[in-house]
Structure 1
């Protein structure tokens, strides 16, 4: 940040604390940060954690935030702030977006939930501030990277269409044991949701929908074999933006071998269940542990024929491990999710646009080489 701002972070989980610490450590001019959560104790704990973990003087102020019953203290904070980073569960995203709309605050969120995203799009069409949606890791960074690769491939090969645009992310443990070959590094309900809900793709140049976990395949990345499969939400708005321009487009989640077969067995046991997401979440949490030591595997590729009818393919892979930010070591899932979120809010605060900005509408090269993104992901040329 090149100017002082007051920034509200809604939520007090792992991504909220990472976003706060990154804002303090990596901003040229440190913002004042308000940590709002329904559980005031958690908000205070995050604020204290950030203050103790930074090398810079800062103001990190906790407050009670009940999205359905806004207190006078919260009202005063919103009236005197510039932006909200929404780090609460995706089901609450429209509620927090309404607060941003009401108090004329710039807004950025993380959720992959499609219905909630569509609600915010409808709300923010007449907003006096900017709204960047789905701007974490996946959806988020991976979509902007894929769009960048599409644009650069078309430009360098003098074409306007491609055959394949595929992008994949795995939030994985370093080790995986039977029978599930997995460890939770982020929200269990988020994992269950993406395994259940349908996926938006492009097939034969047309936007389409496919069931989650319906296209499992092996893939070798940097010499290591993983499994990939369709999961919901990660494609963001690229199927709309690139409809008619790409023959096959999809987002897939990477997993260690054996995991998807285990999930398939759990889903078979849940047939005819009224709430399969809740059922799968419960089944997973019974057997799968939460793991702190994590890694992010990221893969994106574009393929098509150039102007001379030669088939070409461009690939980008990234392997991101936990990293030191200030005095704290943040997990890979924290930095890779929080950094794009913070980059999005910087974009809004410094350019002051109005209305909704989806992943396909962002300036890809500027975003990918932004001051908050590059320490985590590196530069893209």
Structure 2
């Protein structure tokens, strides 16, 4: 028998996480899909069963919003790990369940305040907690940290001028006036556009307004716009303070999109509902599109021990991919596999306490069993 894995949520990422585990993991893991709507959890459980090419065990359960039911207690006692695919506002509650019932825990959220709350909760836990382990934050931070470490080793230095890393979840085509299509959560997009970004400027941590440092970047001959957004830097500003002159995470978009967003925000009153208002405005104007692509880029720049300025770069484009009998969107696979890789790291090493993105051993993670089929290998 395989591990007993509890997945909180029944959306697109939770579905992908379940399918990837069921199809790619060794043995026969037992999956528990929990959602506030039991019908949705049951639909996802059946979708996973229909999509795998080998035996799997999947059970749906009701994940109550208001209480801890006897069914939830039974599942949590049986589970080895809780994979939190719910909105970030619910993450502290899910992490609390993991600690209370002795499960490992992995989440995806870019929400900063909730992450800090879980960090305090997890520091003395008897099980392992890996936070922000999706695409951005997640894979892109591990890749950026790897570039930093390799640059310092190869060039015999301990500081660099800049470390930049960027991700775009994009459509293949973009039309006026918004030049965008939703490929993932609208509330996630609105949140990262409004909340502040954490950066390094002149080797020190500095909060910067999102959408305040726009620039153009050309990747594989195609021009994109980049700008600061919240959450994607994970813990790298803290881990690399004093070692990197300028560090930031930026989101990639097709040219013209950010100008449209600026125009929408300028017409709003700044209050506690700004995120919800922006989400509503975008939802009324921007369509959801299934055929997506992920564009990512990371680079480190600095002088070597002889004073020569050098720059190392990695760029990737990732498209929808078939897993088992289902085809998953690029945003699904690229978000799900880092979470699954993190989960199996905890299950196989039996780690305890808090593990942040900068504390993962980069190369084994980047070339892991679940990550490599989606992202490809990273050379040493």
For 1:5, the equivalent position in structure 2 comes to 3
| Residues 13-66 of structure 1: per-residue CA shift (max 9 Å, x gap) | 000000000001111112100000010000000000000011011101101111
SS of the equivalent of 2:293 reads strand
For 2:215, the equivalent position in structure 1 comes to 217
Q: Tell me if structure 2 keeps the 8 A contact 1:67–1:95.
A: no
Unmatched tracts of structure 2, length 5 or more: none
For 1:288, the equivalent position in structure 2 comes to 286
For 2:71, the equivalent position in structure 1 comes to 73
Measure how far apart 1:67 and its partner are. 4.3
For 1:126, the equivalent position in structure 2 comes to 124
Give the Cα separation in 2 of the matches to 1:274 and 1:333: 29
The within-5 A match list for 1:174-189 is: 174-189=172-187
TM-score by length of 1: 0.99
Q: Tell me if structure 1 keeps the 8 A contact 2:2–2:26.
A: no
Figure out how many residues of one structure are paired with residues of the other and give that number: 379
Of 39, 50, 53, which aligns to 2:51? 53
Q: Tell me if structure 1 keeps the 8 A contact 2:166–2:296.
A: yes
**CA 1:70 to 1:274, structure 2 compared with 1: closer, same or farther past 3 Å?**
closer
The within-5 A match list for 1:166-205 is: 166-205=164-203
Q: Tell me if structure 2 keeps the 8 A contact 1:86–1:109.
A: yes
Measure how far apart 1:115 and its partner are. 0.3
The within-5 A match list for 1:87-166 is: 87-166=85-164
SS of the equivalent of 1:353 reads coil
For 1:245, the equivalent position in structure 2 comes to 243
Give the Cα separation in 2 of the matches to 1:123 and 1:85: 17
Give the Cα separation in 2 of the matches to 1:24 and 1:189: 29
Q: Tell me if structure 2 keeps the 8 A contact 1:194–1:231.
A: yes
Q: Tell me if structure 2 keeps the 8 A contact 1:219–1:227.
A: yes
SS of the equivalent of 1:186 reads coil
| Residues 325-358 of structure 1: per-residue CA shift (max 9 Å, x gap) | 0000000000000000000000000001111000
Unmatched tracts of structure 1, length 5 or more: none
Choose 44-53 or 63-72, whichever is displaced more: 63-72
For 2:338, the equivalent position in structure 1 comes to 340
Give the Cα separation in 2 of the matches to 1:343 and 1:275: 36
Q: Tell me if structure 2 keeps the 8 A contact 1:205–1:248.
A: yes
Measure how far apart 1:68 and its partner are. 3.2
Measure how far apart 1:272 and its partner are. 3.5
Q: Tell me if structure 1 keeps the 8 A contact 2:147–2:300.
A: yes
SS of the equivalent of 1:189 reads helix
Give the Cα separation in 1 of the matches to 2:150 and 2:281: 43
Of 320, 323, 329, which aligns to 1:322? 320
Give the Cα separation in 1 of the matches to 2:177 and 2:194: 20
Give the Cα separation in 2 of the matches to 1:28 and 1:9: 18
